[in-house]
Structures are given as structure tokens and as C-alpha cells.
Amino acid sequence: MSGVAVTKEIPAPATGDLVVLSNVNKHFGELHVLQNIDLRIARGEVVVVIGPSGGGKSTLCRAINRLETIDSGEIVIDGKPLPAEGRELAALRADVGMVFQSFNLFAHKTVLHNVTLGQVKVRKKEKKAADDRARRLLDRVGVASQAEKYPAQLSGGQQQRVAIARALAMDPKIMLFDEPTSALDPEMINEVLEVMRQLALDGMTMVVVTHEMGFARSAANRVVFMADGRIVEETTPAQFFSDPSSERAKDFLSKILHH
Amino acid sequence: MFDFLKGYDLLAAFWVTVQLTFYSAVGSLIWGTVLAAMRVSPVPLMRGFGTAYVNVVRNIPLTVVIVFTSLGLFQTLGVTLGAADFTTINFRLAVLGLTAYTSSFVCEALRSGINTVPVGQTEAARAIGLNFPQVLRLIVLPQAFRSVVGPLASVLIALTKNTTVAAAIGVAEAAALMRVMIENEAQLILISAIFAFGFICLTLPTGLFLGWVSKKVSVRR
């Protein structure tokens, strides 16, 4: 699949954008981590967010399912403003899959149970149906044989693929990836990126915060470059990597691409 | 040498101690868990109640708590806890007092366990759409309990010994019998030794067993 140029033409979505952030601001004390962020994510679009550390990428990603609250502005998902808390927020989070840098698999539950838990407790599925679905998903991400093990018995790459399966089990409308490969040993990064690439090809809407420029180049529809709490540039991967328009992006790319 | 033991029912007395311990342990495990849940809940009123309860109750001497259940609850307010005879009323009042007191320690042990659960576990649980009670019940508390089996064992051992305070309101447990025997027999040291040995027989296996459980159930990360 390496030869596949994943530059899908994104049709203007008839049903409107899936995620719309308007004028979003957030502070951590003195630090203004999100500054007037406007961002639209269309259905089926793969948006890769890159930029220097501390630039607000992860905060942006986590704000979309309200793991971080925002100070002002609005986030609308599938036509509905992000609920503040309670039942509605839980329901929304079930529709938004999240994959973390540190995997965060439930340490006291088996791999299989990690993937069935949300289906049974949130989606109210029968145990049997949830089990079947979980095993299919584990098979899809290539860890079916590890189903009965506990997370600590798996490698980092395997754990992250289970985490992806756990998120997919909820049938999310969108998947958020918060630096999914940053905690992995180098030889395990590709197995995770491969799963993500496949997901992108299947038409999943994705927001991916990453330092993997190869993934951004090959799988993204759009690159969002963030620095110092602002979206400095957003464009196609081809444009961004060959001819970035901002000085900040040029500087960033020159530091990471020259070795 | 042990002739003087005739006429005293040591086993019955220790059996009351065991029963006091058992019911109070179950009660304080439940109430302590509820208190811990309150102390980490997002509702300020619950947090406030949990904090106030723990800080008041654990700082009152147990004797005062136990005597209050009898003088305050029973004799002044007429609380009988559904029992008719004095023996049963006093027993239940003692269980109530021990539970009220011990649960504040269970709460704090459990809360320290909750603090050992990485925040990522909670975030992941919230991210798949679990609500607060589910996050607590399915993800946080199971991991917290596993990490505090050791501290809870210490609380249980303390509770076992604390049941002796129930003698203050006339519950015929081991310490009450000891007092009677010391009054009547000229065997002060021997009697003390016998009762000390009795308590060690109860608490030592508890501690060893729970130490083993603690290793068995610990969460690998």
C-alpha cells in the first residue's frame, strides 16, 4: 500500500463540517495555549496537526472531546455544540474516539475486556455481540492472538493497536490521535502508523497530532501547523513540505528534515 | 495451672469479638468506599461532606464514639436499631460506632489508592463515554483497592483490637471477660497473656493472608 498516494479529493460535504472550532481560546495560567483557533474538519477528512512542542497541538486535540475545557469560543461536533458535562458529554465522547500517547489501556482488564467494556457499558450491547466485534477489531489491528493477556504483557506497539481497537469499538464519528507513536520504540512505530493509514483509507475522519512527517505526507488531506498557540499555516501536505508559506514553518521544517 | 479457666467461656467471648470485627469490617468497607467516592466526586457538596466527616470522626477518641452510641443514640434518642433486648441493642450500637469510626480510616486508605491510579486511566475511561459513577466503579476503584490491600489490612487489624472498646457499653466480648477474670482470679499476668495470645491468633493470620492477597492482585503497569 506504500505506493498508494492518499490524496483523496475531499468533496464539499453536503451535511456540513463534522467538527467546527470557532475562536477557541484557552489559558494555562499565564500561558495562552490556544489563541483564537478557527478550524473546520470535514467528514472523512484526515487532518494532521504538527508543530513544535508546547505549541498547543495536544491541547487542541484534547479540547475536541473536552478532556481540556476551553475558556472561550465554541466547538461544534456534528452540528451540536460541545456539552459542558454530564450525560450529554459522555454520549458525545462515546462518538469521538481518542488514542493517547501513553496508550492508557485499563491495566486491570484483559485486552479483550478493554475492547468490550465501552460496547457493553455505554452502547448497551450484548456481551456476546461485543466479544465478537472486539475479536474482529483485534484481528483487524493484528493483535487477535493477545486477546486474553493483560496490557502490561504486550509491547508498546501492540498496546497502542489495542487502544485503537478500543476506540473503534464505539463506532466513533471521528478519531483523535494525540501523539500516538511518541512513546513507542522506533521499530514499533510503523505497525501503528500502518493501522492508522488503513483507517484513513477506509474513510475515517481523523485528527492526528504527530511528529511523523512521513505519515503526514502520505496519509493527510490537510496539514495544520501550530506554533505558540496559533494555527500558523494550513494547507495540503505537498504544499506544506515543499513550499511552506510562513517563516515559522520554514524554520521548523529546516530543523527536522535536514538529517 | 490453667484450672482457674473453668467456669469462663473464653471461646464465646472471642466469638463476640470476631462477630463485632466482621460486621464492622463489612460496614466500614462499604461506608468508607462511599465516603471516598464522595471525596473525589465532582459535586462540591459531597466533597465537603466527605472531608468534614473524615476530619471530625477520625479525630474523636473511639471510646467517646462508642459511649455516645449508647448514651446519646440509645438512652437519649431511643435508637434501638431494631433490637429488643439489651445485649443485641448494645452489640448493634457497638457495630455502628466501630463502623462510623473505622470507615474514616478506610476512606483515607482508599483515597490514597485512588491517587495511585494514573490520570490516563480516567481520561481513557471518560473518552469512551463512561460517566463518573462508571469510571469510578469500573476503572478507578478496582485498581485503587488492589493497591491498598496492605494498608486496609492494617486498618482491619486495628479494628479487631478496637472492638475491645465495646466493653465500655457492656458488650460481652473478649476484653469484657478479661476484666471480669482479672477481678476474680489472682492470675493477672497469665490472664493478660492469654488474651493477648487470643488477639494475636485473630490478627496475625489476617495480616499474613492479606499480605499474600496484596501481592496476588497487584496491578502490573
In tens, the pLDDT along B29-58 reads: 999 999 999 999 989 999 999 999 999 999
pLDDT for res B5? 81
**What is the per-residue pLDDT for B200?**
95
Cβ neighbours for B11, distance < 8 A, ≥ 6 positions apart:
none
Cell reading at B47: 466533597
Mean per-residue pLDDT of chain B: 93
What is the tens place of the pLDDT at every residue in B74-105? 888 988 888 888 889 999 999 999 999 999 99
Those residues with Cβ within 8 angstroms of residue B2's Cβ, 6 or more apart along the chain or in another chain:
none
What chain A residue is nearest to B138 in terms of C-alpha separation? A117
Any chain B CB within 8 A of the CB of A41?
no
The per-residue pLDDT for range B163-186, each reduced to its tens digit, is: 999 999 989 999 999 999 988 888
Report the share of chain B in percent with pLDDT over 70. 100
Report residue B182 as a C-alpha cell.
Answer: 482479672
Please identify every stretch of chain A with a pLDDT value under 50, giving residue numbers as ranges. Answer: 1-14
Q: Tell me if B120 and A152 make a contact (CB, 8 A cut-off).
A: no
Mutate to test the interface with A, among B43, B116, B117, B128 (most CBs of A within 10 A): B128
Using a CB-CB distance cutoff of 8 angstroms, which residues of chain A are in contact with residue B130?
90, 118, 121-122
Closest partner residue to B134 (CB to CB) among A103, A121, A170 is A121
* pLDDT for position A258: 64
The Cα of A103 is separated from the nearest Cα of chain B by a number of Å equal to 8
Residue A58 is predicted with a pLDDT of 93
Q: Work out whether strand A205-209 and strand A46-50 pair parallel, antiparallel, or are unpaired.
A: parallel
Instruction: List the domain boundaries for chain B.
Output: 7-217
* Cα within 13 Å of Cα(B142), Cβ side: 14
pLDDT mean over B10-23: 94
**Residue B93 grid coordinates:** 450500637
| Superfamily for the B7-217 domain | MetI-like (1.10.3720.10)
| Residue linked to cell 522506533 | A186
**Pick from A176, A241, A162: which is nearest to A208 by CA?**
A176
What is the per-residue pLDDT across B138-161, written as a single tens digit (0 to 9) for each?
999 999 999 999 999 999 999 999
Residue A259's pLDDT is 55
